[in-house]
Amino acid sequence: MMKTLTVTLEDRSYPIYIGSGLLSRTKLLAQHIQNKEVCIVTNTTVSPLYLKKLTASLADNFHCEVVVLPDGEQYKSLTELNQIFDQLLRSQFSRQVTLIALGGGVIGDMTGFAAACYQRGVPFIQIPTTLLSQVDSSVGGKTAVNHALGKNMIGAFYQPECVIADTNTLNTLDDRQLSSGLAEVIKYGLINDFIFFEWLEKNIEKLRSRDENLLAEAIERSCNNKAIIVAKDEREQGVRALLNLGHTFGHAIETGMGYGEVLHGEAIAIGMMMAVDLSLRLRWLSAPDAERIKQLFVAAGLPVEVPSEMSETDFMSLMAVDKKVQDGVIRLVLLKGIGQAVLSDDYGASLLSETLTHYTNHSK
């Protein structure tokens, strides 16, 4: 069974295919490749699992090369990006080459950015193999690499030809990675889908035990939520910023702890709890709702406390380079209820400071 969603962006519109066993469906993939030249980018963890399946389906009809990068957020840098360019140029691949990202969010972000830059832009396809990348990073055209001083600071808005989410790939994901993906799934409920939030409360145990149908439904509902927002605001001039719920705090944790120490979903789960805490202090959110959100994160196997290494000062300096800073003020995504996220800069510095103090007072 396969479900198809569409991200509607004028001449950059594209389909998201969701289903089990899609990796072997050659025609599905091949119809989105414009030319003979294909370069698959993957990592050392994913390649033993799925690379053969993919190359087998392509080998007969395409000149197919592969780049295998090391696995982990710490390798999402300009240095590793250059390895993709090395391979493309060694293969003398032209402006007609199609890049295929086979892996999680790091591979998707890097491959997309490489595609945006190679010869000033070539087509690419997303084949996300983690829950996190299937529900979030593979959809919407945000591509980037990290810089030592800030996450995703170097990148481009660049849309793929299609996204192919094969739910079978989730079977090889470890539990920690699965929970990390669930953080982004829960995020959609918190932002603007209370009904989905309640559905997640009800089904969180079955999702963690990898019920195939429920996972497919969670992916579809997440992608659908994201596709609607991206279609309204491709370049994050407005409503798209809501998708960053928990990310300003979360990116500070990822950068501050060193890339790869804390998984992205874990960092933004903590970040969402910090946004919840600030929303509570603002009396925008009720205490029972805040507790309800915390319980769902805990049930999803996610952390809800800031790592003890992080201080309030760390947060302030790392958050100052967030992409949502405008005129020197950090704009934050906060909650006026479950399913009601708002972008705000009128939270008051003192309440933000209280939240940071509370979360970094590790002796509490």
Active site residues: 120, 142, 184, 226, 236, 240, 244, 247, 251, 264
Does 168 help bind a copy of itself (rule: CB under 8 A)? no
Local structure of 122: helix, strand or coil: coil
Q: How far is the CB of 325 from a copy of itself (least distance, A)?
A: 4
Under rule CB under 8 A, which residues in 174-233 are in contact with a copy of itself?
Answer: none
Which burial class, exposed, middle or buried, applies to 361 when counting CB atoms under 10 A from its CB (0-12, 13-18, 19+)? Answer: exposed
Tokens of 327: 């005129």
Query: What is d(CA 157, CA 140) in angstroms, rounded to the nearest whole number?
Result: 8
Query: What DSSP designation does 50 have?
Result: I
Quick one: which of 91, 84, 191 has its CA closest to 135?
191
Among 32, 76, 142, 247, binds a copy of itself (CB under 8 A): 142
> Among 151-159, 258-266, 283-291, 292-300, which window interacts with a copy of itself (CB under 8 A)?
151-159
Q: Is 90 exposed, middle or buried (0-12, 13-18, 19+ CB in 10 A)?
A: exposed
Closest to a copy of itself by CB, 2 vs 9, is: 9
Q: Is 24 among the residues that bind a copy of itself (CB under 8 A)?
A: no
Q: Are 338 and 197 in contact (CB under 8 A)?
A: yes
Q: Which is nearer to a copy of itself, 80 or 266 (CB)?
A: 80
Among positions 9, 51, 325, 343, the unique one binding a copy of itself when judged by CB under 8 A: 325
What is the C-alpha to C-alpha distance for residues 13 and 281, in angstroms, rounded to an integer? 41
What is the closest distance, in whole angstroms, from the C-beta atom of residue 320 to a copy of itself in the complex?
5
User: Residues 6 or more apart from 174 whose CB is under 8 A from it?
Assistant: none
The identity of residue 306, as a single letter, is V
Burial of residue 183 (CB within 10 Å: 0-12, 13-18, 19+) is buried
Interaction of residue 78 with a copy of itself, rule CB under 8 A: yes
Number of residues that bind a copy of itself (CB under 8 A): 37
**Contact call for residue 349 and a copy of itself (CB under 8 A):** no
Binding residues for a copy of itself restricted to 223-242, rule: CB under 8 A: 235
Range 118-137, binding a copy of itself (CB under 8 A) = 118-121
Say whether residue 154 binds a copy of itself (CB under 8 A): yes
Chain centre distance of CA 138: 7
The verdict on 308 binding a copy of itself (CB under 8 A) reads no
290: contact with a copy of itself by CB under 8 A? no
**Token pair belonging to 115:** 């595609």
Position of tokens 């993957």?
42
Residue (102 or 115) nearer to a copy of itself, CB: 115
Looking at the Cβ atoms of 170 and 241, the one nearer to a copy of itself is 241
* Residue list 85-104, contact with a copy of itself (CB under 8 A): 85-86, 89-90, 92, 94-96
Name the token pair of 152.
Answer: 């995703």
Which amino acid would we find at residue 216?
A
Residue 324 CB, shortest distance to a copy of itself, in Å, is 8
Q: Least distance to a copy of itself from the beta carbon of 156, Å?
A: 6
Locus of tokens 């950059």? 12
Does residue 364 interact with a copy of itself by CB under 8 A? no
The yes or no reply on residue 305 touching a copy of itself (CB under 8 A) is no
DSSP string, 247-277: HHHHHHHHHHH-TTSS-HHHHHHHHHHHHHH
The residue (of 11 and 346) whose beta carbon lies closer to a copy of itself is 11
Residues 257-286 that bind a copy of itself (CB under 8 A): none
Least Å distance between CB 140 and a copy of itself? 12
Residue by residue, DSSP assigns 171-226 as GGS-HHHHHHHHHHHHHHHHHH-HHHHHHHHHHHHHHHTT-HHHHHHHHHHHHHHH
Verify binding: residue 34, a copy of itself, rule CB under 8 A. no
| Given 187, 221, 247, 323, the residue binding a copy of itself (CB under 8 A) | 323
Residues that bind a copy of itself (CB under 8 A): 35-36, 78, 81-82, 85-86, 89-90, 92, 94-96, 116-121, 142, 144, 147, 149-150, 153-157, 235, 320-321, 323, 325-328
